[in-house]
Amino acid sequence: MTNETLTYHLNIKRYHPFKDPSASESEHRVQFADQRPTVLQALIEIYEKQDPTLSFSYNCRYARCGLCAVEVDEQPVLACVTPLKQGQTIGPLSNLPLSKDLVINRTLLETLFLREKFFRVPNIQTGQAADSPADFLQMKLHPDLETLLSCIECLCCQASCTVLAENNESLYAGPYVFVKLAQLHLDPLDSLDRKAQAAQLGIEACSACGQCVCPQGIDIYNQAIRPLLGQE
């Protein structure tokens, strides 16, 4: 007995900076015998059998790499675990520069991280770096650090940020940036003043709306924003 083949209609927002600077949409139909296809499966099907010019990103297909994040009906999601439904509109993440179609450009964030030293900087002069493995194991870690380190850098939180959506000219760097800063702030081996960095990156503009989308379940306001505001 074979499974019934179902046909899905969907729209994809398209953007080609060199061909047409304005956004457009393409309509597609895809068929699956699989009763639970995902949005990512649909994108792969379209790319392989209908339109090889379609650009999107993915790697692991298992909600671990964060590369396949897109917006489905204007909601940031991971394409690899989002069920395909009839009539969906798939677009790129909001509040981020685009490279092409569904592919976002991370260059500005990468440049920021390098400039602001978004990596552990131990204070060797004061011996903050653990003198031995035993010293490291005895360090008391903040209970939220493990959760913050589960971030897969999908940037869904940036796309869902109301502050970024309302004012693209704001100095507010966005929730993803503050998650990365909070990881370092709670790292007992890091020596830089991450609260001061957060202030310079506009953290006080956070509206505390609680609308940050995180597929990993990080409570971004309480676990990242508040500690950087000194409200631990």
pLDDT digits (tens, 9 = 90+) for 165-205: 997 667 899 999 999 999 999 999 899 999 999 999 999 99
Among 103, 130, 149, identify where a domain stops. Answer: 103
Could you tell me if 11 and 31 lie in one domain?
Answer: yes
pLDDT value, residue 131? 55
Between 56 and 126, the more confident residue is 56
State the pLDDT confidence band at 136, using cuts at 50, 70 and 90: low
Q: Does residue 119 lie within any of the structural domains?
A: yes
Could you tell me if 28 and 90 lie in one domain?
Answer: yes
Alpha-carbon distance of 11 to 16, in angstroms, equals: 16
CATH number at residue 28: 3.10.20.30
pLDDT value, residue 58? 97
pLDDT value, residue 134? 54
Structure tokens at 159: 């796309």
Could you tell me if 149 and 222 lie in one domain?
Answer: yes
pLDDT digits (tens, 9 = 90+) for 9-34: 999 999 988 777 778 999 999 999 97
What is the pLDDT of the chain when averaged over all its residues? 91
pLDDT digits (tens, 9 = 90+) for 96-131: 999 999 999 999 999 999 999 999 998 765 455 555
Could you tell me if 24 and 138 lie in one domain?
Answer: no
Handedness of CA 171, 176, 181, 185 (dihedral sign): positive
- As a whole number of Å, the end-to-end CA separation of the chain is 59
Determine if the pTM surpasses 0.75: yes
Pick the range with the lowest mean pLDDT from 46-50, 97-101, 136-140, 181-185.
Answer: 136-140
Alpha-carbon distance of 97 to 127, in angstroms, equals: 41
Q: Give percent of the chain above pLDDT 90.
A: 80
120 is in which domain, residue-wise? Answer: 106-228
Q: Does residue 216 lie within any of the structural domains?
A: yes
Please check the confidence at residue 214 and state whether its pLDDT lies above 80: yes
The full DSSP string for the chain is -PPPPEEEEEEEEEEETTTEEEEEEEEEEEEESSSS-BHHHHHHHHHHHT-TT-----SSSSSSS-TTEEEETTEEEEGGGSBP-TTEEEEPPTTS-EEETTEEP-HHHHHHHHHTT-S----TTTT-S-SSHHHHHHSPPPTTHHHHTT-----HHHHH-HHHHH-TTSS---HHHHHHHHHHHT-TT--S-HHHHHHHTTGGG---------TT---HIIIIIHHHTT--
pLDDT value, residue 2? 58
Phi, psi of 197 (to 5 degrees): -65, -40
Buried b (16+ CB within 10 A) or exposed e, 19-48: eeeeeeeeebebebeeeebbbbbbbbbbee
Could you tell me if 68 and 129 lie in one domain?
Answer: no
